[in-house]
Amino acid sequence: MIKSKLSPHMQLALVFLLFGTIWIVLTDLLIINISRNNLSFLSRVQTYKGVLFMCIAAVFIFFVSRKILFRQHVLQQELNDERLRYKNEIALEVFNAQERERKKIGEELHDNVNQLLGVVKLYIEHAQVNPAAQNEMLKKSSEYIKQVIDEIRGLSKSLISPTINDVGLLEALRELIESIVKIRDMEIEVYRNNFSEESLTDHQKLMLYRIMQEQLNNILKHAKAEHVDITLSRTGQTVQLTIEDDGVGFDPKKIKSGLGLKNIRHRLELFNGKLEVISSPQKGCKLEAMFDVT
């Protein structure tokens, strides 16, 4: 218990103090019994005792300090290994995220854009050989091309970082909410409590936006929620984001390593932030993300 709380210097000082106290008490008792009131003998023995004490103390300090320093080296090495492991884990997560994004783009292009363009191609080819149906085919082709444009625009919005510096965090959040309620009948409300985005850096704004985007995506996929509350607040130097839904909930222990929450946790850790998830089956979910600003 002492080793886990005291510095190496304090540990060495306490050990030396304990050793010196025991040495003085025991040797004084021994010398008094041996000298039998012979002051000359007592004086010489005290001198030899002092010299012997210094020699033993020097050897003792050498070995104890060596042991403490070795322990510190081992702990530092373990810390470096843990940092390297965590760095590699983040790198792997980034790589996997990139692969998932590539897969998502490929699926979107194949399942939606490619099929729509294929239909447009057929209409145009049909119009070329059937002059009577040309106007109708071109009109339908135009409608499908508009759908292609909308698909590409939506895909681009999900991939390209929003221009937070231009439109602001709250405006970007509003646009995100609008895009969600278009495809899902869900009420999303935003609250502010002593919060001003002007005090945040662009990186912090983008981090908050990505966390909200990630969690709203999780809610859309899994929660079956009808209502979501998003609260941005600031107390002192601490900014807190709370996202609470009335969905089906879950057991946090069973999805502790879930990809969505892991992404959010990694984003927060870049700013020395903390994440807390409160949920239980059939009782919704409450996500709290906190970090300090200067």
H/E element, 205: helix 202-218
3-state secondary structure of 168: coil
Alpha helices of 7-38 — where are they, by DSSP H? 8-35
Q: Which of 257, 229, 246, 242 is nearest to 280 (CA)?
A: 246
The reported pTM is: 0.55
Could you say which residues of the chain have pLDDT below 50?
A: 1-4
Q: Which residues of 226-241 are buried (b: 16+ CB within 10 A; e: fewer)?
A: eebebbbebeeeebbb
pLDDT tens digit string along 207-239?
Answer: 899 899 889 988 988 889 999 999 999 999 999
pLDDT computed for residue 42 by the predictor: 66
